[in-house]
Amino acid sequence: MPELPEVETIKNDLIPKMVGHRLTKVTLLWPGSVRHPSPDEFCRGLSNQTVEDIRRRGKYLIFDLASGRRLIVHLKMTGCLLLQPSSTAPERHARAILHLDNGTKVHFLDQRKFGVMWLVDDENDVVGFLGPEPLDHRFSVWALRKALGQHKIPVKVLLCDQTAIAGIGNMYSDEALFEARIHPLKKAGDLTTTETERLYRSIGHVLTEAIGRSGASVSTYQLPNGEPGFAHLFFQVAHRRGERCYRCNTLIQRISLRGRGTYFCPRCQAT
């Protein structure tokens, strides 16, 4: 599933191709991708609208339109947005096509059909539940401490809770916890001040480095130009079960934590 670095990369790549350009029409190939409003109203509401800006909130892409409305896209597990010439035919898993006045088309591909689109007047109707952004200058050690609070749930679960902190998912929570030398099963509220400070620094570092590497292509994720990201090539623990820890040479372990595959080094992250 695309997490914060992947969605941030997509946003950055789409801005020069879409901002300032007009959506001439929308082709819906699978109306089930539209959550709100009706598919017909969705297409009408986007037609002839200029894209004024593209933003990210957590794992959501927000397209600001000249009408004042917002197109919001969540790619879920297998979604991606590909920039294509106007002559390119839709691929097998294309669910929608945004046609631009510059001859470019944006294909919304989604193999498993979990991705969702909204057209709304108030973005908070969709993203208002999200917690703070971990790369925002207002996100501090104190804010992390507040998010951890007195929770007795594992810290890995807390980091993946989008109401607590927006955008961190399975891969980057594993990477941040490894860098901070914290076991994923440790209770969030039991982290010491020193551990909280280490985790705060590791979250910022892991996410920033992944953005610089265009995100991680461990499954279906692609950049808008169709190329893969390469952040996964630098993963320390995520998706590395049975391989040796680069730090101590111990075998990386994988456990299932509330349905999530969780990777860690049992020595570097000893409880």
Q: What is the 3-state secondary structure (H, E, C) of the chain?
A: CCCHHHHHHHHHHHHHHHCCCEEEEEEECCHHHEEECCHHHHHHHHCCEEEEEEEEECCEEEEEECCCCEEEEECCCCEEEEEEECCCCCCCCEEEEEEECCCEEEEEEECCCCCEEEEECCCHHHHCCCCCCCCCCCCCHHHHHHHHCCCCCEHHHHHHCCCCCCCCCHHHHHHHHHHHCCCCCCEHHHCCHHHHHHHHHHHHHHHHHHHHCCCCCCCCCCCCCCCCCCHHHHCCCCCCCCCECCCCCCECEEEEECCEEEEECCCCCCC
Q: How far is it, in rounded angstroms, from Cα 83 to Cα 3?
A: 20
Q: Which residues are catalytic?
A: 2-3, 59, 260
What would the mean pLDDT of 89-113 be, rounded to a whole number?
94
What would the mean pLDDT of 16-32 be, rounded to a whole number?
97
For residue 88, what pLDDT is reported?
Answer: 80
Residue 1 has pLDDT above 80, yes or no: no
Distance between start and end Cα atoms, the chain: 28
Q: What residue segments make up the domains of the chain, in order of their start?
A: 4-127, 141-264
| 86 or 229, which is more confident | 229
Q: pLDDT tens across 105-128, in order?
A: 999 999 999 999 999 999 999 999
CATH number of the domain located at residue range(s) 141-264 in this protein: 1.10.8.50
For residue 13, what pLDDT is reported?
Answer: 98
For residue 241, what pLDDT is reported?
Answer: 97
Q: pLDDT tens across 144-195, in order?
A: 999 998 899 999 999 999 999 999 999 999 999 999 999 999 999 999 999 9
The model's pTM is 0.96
Same fold across 4-127 and 141-264: no
Alpha-carbon separation of residue 225 from 99, 111, 117, 170 (angstroms): 16, 18, 21, 25
- Residue 87: which region, alpha, beta or left (left: phi > 0; alpha: psi -120 to 50)? alpha
Average model confidence (pLDDT) for the chain?
96
Q: pLDDT tens across 37-69, in order?
A: 999 999 999 999 999 999 999 999 999 999 999
Residue 245 has pLDDT above 80, yes or no: yes
Could you tell me which CATH class the domain 4-127 is placed in? alpha beta
Residue 101 has pLDDT above 90, yes or no: yes
